[in-house]
Amino acid sequence: MSRARDMRAARRAAQFAKFRITELNLVPLVDTLVSIGFFALTTATVGELSPVVPGVRLPEAHVGATARQQLTLGIGPQITLGGRTIMSTVDAARARSNDATQPLLVPPLYNAMRQAADSIRRVTKVAGTEPLTVPLAIQGDKSMRYDLLARMMQTARLAGFRNLSLQVSKQDRSPSPTAAPASGAP
């Protein structure tokens, strides 16, 4: 009986020999997975990346590029230009343009910005008709109204500044352990 069993086992072994894998090499598979993981981690963006609106050209930053000097316009209870107080925000909101073609112009701020622009032009040797390349950073209070911001930006544009940037403070979005849960009320 043992001979019959041996013959059956030999036939079965011959029948299934074509399906037998003699060697399974996992090294290339592991190398591929490690490479995919490496590239995924090294090319992942840090922080949040919002979609770019069509038609908007974002500024570029290069490592090792020299920082450019910028003029700062602060809009809080007082409007400051380069650390010097120009006027109060209330006075800026009430100010009326003295140019009928430019209704958003704030005359006292325009005069201060024009003086700063002329000073920058003298230092950088830029003609009076050319726009300035020195950036104007606008730091607005978060409770500032958009109509006032539009007037400030238009006044800066008319004074010769073309490179405007709005500065914000990046906040950590992780919930703090002491924060109260949000209510469902609007």
**For residue range 81-105, what is the model confidence (pLDDT) as tens digits?**
888 888 888 888 888 888 888 888 8
> H or E element: which one contains 164?
strand 164-166
**Domain-located, residue 175:** no
At 1 the pLDDT is 64
Residue that is written with structure tokens 């963006």 in the block: 45
**Domain-located, residue 172:** no
pLDDT at 75 over 80: yes
| Residues 6+ positions from 144 with CB-CB distance below 8 Å | 75, 89
What band does 32 get if pLDDT is binned at 50, 70 and 90? very high
Q: CA angle, 169 as apex, 113 and 176 as ends, to 5°?
A: 160
And the tokens for 137?
A: 């950073």
At 176 the pLDDT is 52
Whether 155 and 114 have beta carbons less than 8 Å apart is answered as no
| Residues 6+ positions from 167 with CB-CB distance below 8 Å | 137, 138, 139
**Number of structural domains the chain divides into:** 1
**Domain-located, residue 51:** no
Question: The pTM is what?
Answer: 0.54
As a whole number of angstroms, the distance between CA 137 and CA 42 comes to: 32
What band does 15 get if pLDDT is binned at 50, 70 and 90? confident
Whether 155 and 109 have beta carbons less than 8 Å apart is answered as yes
> H or E element: which one contains 75?
strand 71-75
Domain enclosing residue 75, as ranges: 71-166
